[in-house]
Chain A
Amino acid sequence: MHNKTLSELSAALQAGEFSSTELTQSYLDRISSLDPQINAFVTVTQQLALDTAAAADKRIAAGTAAPLTGIPLAQKDIFCTEGVKTTCGSKMLDNFISPYDATVIENFNAAGAVMLGKTNMDEFAMGSSNETSYYGPVKNPWDINKVPGGSSGGSAAAVAARLAPASTGTDTGGSIRQPASLCGITGLKPTYGRVSRYGMIAFASSLDQAGPMTRTAEDAAMMLNCMAGFDERDSTSAQRDVPDYTANLNDSLQGLTIGLPKEYFGEGLDAQVGSAVEAAIREYENLGAVVKEISLPNTHLAVPTYYVVAPAECSSNLSRFDGVRFGYRCDDPADLEDLYKRSRGEGFGAEVKRRIMIGAYALSAGYYDAYYIKAQQLRRLISDDFKRAFEEVDVIMGPTAPEPAFGLGEKSDDPITMYLSDIYTIAANLAGLPGMSVPAGFVNNMPVGLQIIGNYFDESRLLNVAHRYQQVTDWHARTPEQFK
């Protein structure tokens, strides 16, 4: 059961091969026996899952099932789920039971999908290795001494270890694509505004975007069909129709123009990762695509720009965690100031505090123009690079991450090196473009991801491009030995 894709599971449920209750129970069993090895889940919602599965079985029997009815899913613990603990990987929210559902969760509930539990993540989605979580690091199912990437590390590891057929993630600077790459699964960050952010705990509002983390591109299309759409509760969500993302998966790639930014293949890229990506590109040429070298000249500015914009927004977004209305409150506060200082001092981890301080500094009087305003200008330059590129090419390809998964603890004391893990993914967030990571090989037995960046709202094409590749390769179908 656990080796089937979403479309296979959906078909099997409809055909009555097994029930959603059986399927859900089988995943719950796997989680209970295997998750202790990788720590992918913060909360397992066993009873809720079985209740939802029973309801899904009735719906299937009644013939009113949607494609995801009865399918078990893992939800990143950044999405608010009514009546269920929603921690965002932080001590600050260890006691927080959300009084409402995020729009993404509502959409899955309406479709009859089953939530298995909430997945581990870097604290408030700030991290690239899942080591900043209050609930301990997630381990990479391909090698439990290595990181799964972050911040959606729990979601990536859960899918890679077959503890869930699919999961959700969020991506602010690469938090879907980089862990997908490091765990050998498929991850899609949609165009900014494609999926509602309502109920998704904000890290950097102008960059955050939710998306699917799955085994295949086809599964990602099925998930995106359910997640995408305008939401009147999110002013930044796009008022655009949602196409059927599964409709064009098999379109021919004959004549597709692929841009290869020379800046993505230079210094800092692991040579073997580079070779794997080049091999994938050759596969595309075999499928009829045309390759063109392009330049994104402001690429080197992406990381510094991001580390002003994202902390600035987070310093404000995280002000609501003050110990007054919900979340962690220190013991015996002496006065109001003490309540604030100790609740936040004790409730937040080091990386979160670092970013709040960077952000508050960048926004403060006298520095605002030099940092925040300058970063906004650079953001425009970075977007313009892509705008020019998409006049010439249909998609842009390159590595998702500069190297395969690194060792646990290897970079946790060196924030700058850690930040460079997202060097190829950050630009798409700054520009608001959709990006995917698909498994494209292995280096020293660790997975490597190919990144595909598309034009605005061109998710259908990204999925089509990824799907055709997956029809002729089997990297995405491989399973870590211990989790077969």
Chain B
Amino acid sequence: MEWEVVIGLEIHAQLATKSKIFSGASTAYGAPANTQACVVDLGMPGVLPVLNHEAVQMAIKFGLATGSEVAPRSIFARKNYFYPDLPKGYQISQMELPIVGEGVLEIRLEDGTVKKIGITRAHLEEDAGKSLHGESPGMTGIDLNRAGTPLLEIVSEPDMRSAKEAIAYMKKIHSIVTYIDICDGNMQEGSFRCDANVSVRPKGQEEYGTRAEIKNLNSFRFVEKAINLEVERQIDVIEGGGAVVQETRLYDSDKHETRAMRSKEEANDYRYFPDPDLLPVEIDNETIEAVRANLPELPDAKLQRFISEYELSDYDADVLTSSRPMADYYEIVVKASGGEAKLSANWVMGDFSGTLNKESTDIKECPVSAEMLGGMIKRIADNTISGKIAKQVFEAMWQGEGDADAVIESKGLKQVTDSGAIEKLVDEIITNNPGQVEQYRSGKDKVFGFFVGQVMKASQGKANPAQVNQILKDKLKP
């Protein structure tokens, strides 16, 4: 039988606020355990939450950036359950009235087609702390530094039909939240993670199959692997005559499997009710318009602009706008190069990205600034160096040997454009290779490349290729 996969994602984006969503404690990552947890985060008797309005602004930004509805009135609710890293015995979240309502997002698939994915809602909530196992034998430690960190949970419609589509959607959301600066997007630190709801149904069937929820996936690769594994598992279960059970599952990347955590029957009754410690969040049009006015250019708009302003291909524009740091970097390169848009695109997408990947370096921390790369491209464009020599210059810049001009100077890589000097080299080559001269003059045009190579070699690559061509042609004339 042919199966259709149905996927919906719940993405948790940690909002990049300085302090927590309901307390003044810092949200900075990596501090010693329990040093960033104040009495409110510890759930001490008598403490009360106070909403961080920066988190609200960020949620509004997300709503506007995805064309979703921003609720004029939303309500915080308590989700009640016991867990040692949940200090109050309840998580403050939003249930019935979330801050962001329905929206639609377009994703670009590998074959270039565009697909619409529905956003059901996005709501604000606080993160829990962490349980630390194995630090002291027989005991579990609790670190509440993360408790109270603001999260935006973005829930999609079950509109995705493959792991690839799920990844494309997740990358799109990732790109948007980082573009609008509400999340640092760091998946290793857990700032951006997701739960995937996966089900299968016979192709053509309208009704959804029973779904399983895979929890806490914190890399694009894991999402893809986990979904594909889960799809295989569900199909095996059904084809083996069984039925998929509604349950929560965990993806184990070491064992390469998903396994059951708890079934629907074991699921908690969270006893949601409006949190009486917090007032409803009222958002007026004025606030929304003020946020809209400060919204940066979004990925889709930037892509269109790159195509028209820099005359890039759809593909190049798509790659360059996939992340805001990349797009920003490219634009500075173009500017510093004196407007060499195509050459800049080739370099940013080619050697530059390749080196970033090879060295596993973040664009913000890489040793070659956009100004430096642009400066080098300018030297290609004005014939100071050739494209081939540029690779050497780039490598030297990466090694911290200074900007392009300094490297060209110190290594003596300046292109030779003195026609007298080039003529001298050409004369030498012609004199030393009488056989090849004979061949060329008798009509074997292909030999011309040999002469160009010889001249370039003799100049250590520095001779201007166009000049070499011209002078050779003149001198080799019978």
Contacts and interface: CB of A to CB of B under 8 A. Distances in A.
Contact of A86 (B45, B89, B271, B276): B45
Contact of A322 (B39, B42, B82, B272): B82
Given A99-B39, A319-B89, A234 B48 contact: yes
B82 A319 contact: yes
A320 B80 CA distance: 10
B45 A322 contact: no
A28 B39 CA distance: 32
B243 to A, nearest CB: 24
Contact of B269 (A321, A340, A364, A372): A364
Given A100-B44, A198-B47, A232-B50, A313 B276 contact: yes
A443 B387 CA distance: 105
Interface string A187-209: 00000000001111110111000
B interface SS class:
loop
Given A312-B273, A324-B142, A336-B84, A197 B45 contact: no
A133 B38 CA distance: 30
A321 B276 CA distance: 19
B273 A363 contact: yes
A242 interface: no
A484 interface: no
B48 A201 contact: no
Contacts of B43: 320, 325
Contacts of A322: 82, 84, 89
Interface string B114-145: 00000000000000000000000000001000
Interface string A372-396: 1000000000000000000000000
Nearest to B39: A100
Contact of A235 (B45, B272, B279): B279
Interface in B264-279: 269, 271-273, 276-279
Contacts, number: 97
A328 B385 CA distance: 76
Given A232-B50, A319-B89, A363 B45 contact: no
A233 B48 contact: yes
B456 interface: no
B45 A88 contact: yes
Contact of A236 (B47, B272, B273, B279): B279
Contact of A364 (B50, B89, B90, B271): B271
Given A99-B39, A316-B78, A325-B87, A235 B48 contact: yes
Interface in B79-96: 80, 82, 84, 87-90
A316 B89 CA distance: 7
Interface string B33-45: 0000001001111
A93 B45 contact: yes
Contact of B46 (A202, A206, A319, A372): A202
A316 B45 contact: no
A102 interface: yes
A365 interface: yes
Contact of B50 (A199, A233, A321): A233
B51 interface: yes
Nearest to A90: B45
B82 A197 contact: no
B49 interface: yes
Interface in B366-415: none
B76 to A, nearest CB: 10
B160 to A, nearest CB: 29
Contact of A199 (B47, B271, B272, B278): B47
Interface in B144-191: none
B39 A324 contact: no
Given A102-B46, A198-B47, A235-B50, A365 B269 contact: yes
B44 A235 contact: no
B48 A316 contact: no
A80 interface: yes
Interface of A: 79-80, 86, 88, 93, 96, 98-100, 102, 197-202, 204-206, 232-236, 312-313, 315-316, 318-322, 324-326, 336, 340, 360, 363-365, 368, 372
The 8 A-B residue pairs with the shortest CB-CB distance, nearest first, are A319-B89, A206-B276, A363-B271, A205-B276, A199-B46, A320-B43, A201-B45, A80-B46
